[in-house]
Amino acid sequence: MTVTKPDLPPLEEYVEYLKKIWKSRWLTNNGELLQLFERKLREFLKVENLLCVVNGTLALHCAIKALELEGEVITTPFTFPATTNVIIWEGLTPVFADIDRQTFNIDPEDVERKITERTCAIIAVHTFGNPCYVEELEEIAEKYNLKIIYDAAHAFGVEYKGRSVLNYGDVSTLSFHATKVFHTIEGGAIVAKDNNLFEKLKLLINHGIKSEEEFVIPGTNAKMNEFQAAMGLCNLKYFDERVRRRKIIVEYYKENLNNLDVEFQKVIASKHNYIYMPVLFKNSKIRNKVYEELSRSGIKSRKYFYPLTTDLACFKNLDLVKKFGLKVAPEISGRILCLPLYSDLTLEDVDRV
């Protein structure tokens, strides 16, 4: 049993789109399927300015480039390495704030404590699809004139107080990787609040090309192709039903684990996508023992997120946990385990876990 499995549409539905691609011989460069996919996503996600890209990591790169950030970026260490790696690759300095003990998201109070004259932005992660404390973060950003990028890799379809989480901040980025609750095999998207920023992002993801003879800014190649768009079109129509099934599985897990000495993430979303099944054990010793026992039984779980990104090899011997006074993030990272969760996981499988 794996920790996750990609959802796939009926093969014949995908093949129908492939036939269109074969007939048009238009494989990439803003093809007909991509344009259709982007229109459907804007409507489904309730956003105005959305661009599809080849993956979620390049979405973050392009967001930073478009905002022309320089200096320090306050971020969370409790995340996938991509969030931190992008900050480093773009020549910025990551400053790590601690996380909230209940939501596992970046702690706004610690964010404000970490602001210096070099701070230019906050990159916050909607951890496991759970919205950050967006109101507090936006208040801080306005007070100190900072930009906010939300890494919404986990947050496809998530809403906070009835509003898409993608409508907060200056930019939100999505991942459509095969492991996500919605995927295009590989892929991602960028959502921008400002129209001018959106136009700039359009240029950035396609080498800065304005026309055949105009290359107006240094860009990159982050374009989504027609095959990815086709998979997205197929998967989008099944998303709500898959989330409905995931919710049943998550609730069944919680009901059956409730009598044990474990804790669950506090979810503040008004509409959640049930992307992961994180469980907090009493300590790392118990977590590791459960992980090993599950492995011996042929059940793959994941210590997610462990280790913290402060422990990446590039930070070796810097002891960033101590430097930034991180208390909660190391504790949560040491106790957390994500259990198997995918839309066709049976309740009998959950009983086995």
Give me the active site residues, please. 180
Question: Do 146 and 75 touch, CB atoms closer than 8 A?
Answer: no
Measured over the CA atoms of residue 280, residue 286, residue 290 and residue 291, the dihedral's sign is positive
Token output for 217: 């800014």
CA distances from 223 to 117, 122, 184, 247, 295 (A): 35, 26, 13, 33, 39
Long-range (24+ apart) CB contacts under 8 A made by 26-34 are 26/226, 27/225, 27/226, 27/227, 28/223, 28/224, 28/225, 28/226, 29/206, 29/223, 30/206, 30/223, 31/225, 31/226, 31/229, 32/226, 33/226, 33/229, 33/230, 33/233, 34/224, 34/225, 34/226, 34/229
DSSP designation for 258: T
Nearest to 129, CA basis, from 147, 96, 148, 151: 151
Q: In the β-sheet with 147-151, what is the strand arrangement from edge to edge?
A: 50-53, 188-192, 171-175, 147-151, 119-125, 72-75, 93-96
Query: In the structure encoding, which two tokens stand for residue 113, read together?
Result: 């404590």
Residues facing residue 296 across a β-bridge: none
Please list, residue by residue across 123-137, b when 16 or more beta carbons sit within 10 angstroms of its beta carbon and e when fewer do. Answer: bbbbbbbbbbbbeeb
Task: For residue 287, give both structure tokens.
Answer: 């977590």
The full DSSP string for 271-293 is: B------EEE-SSHHHHHHHHHH
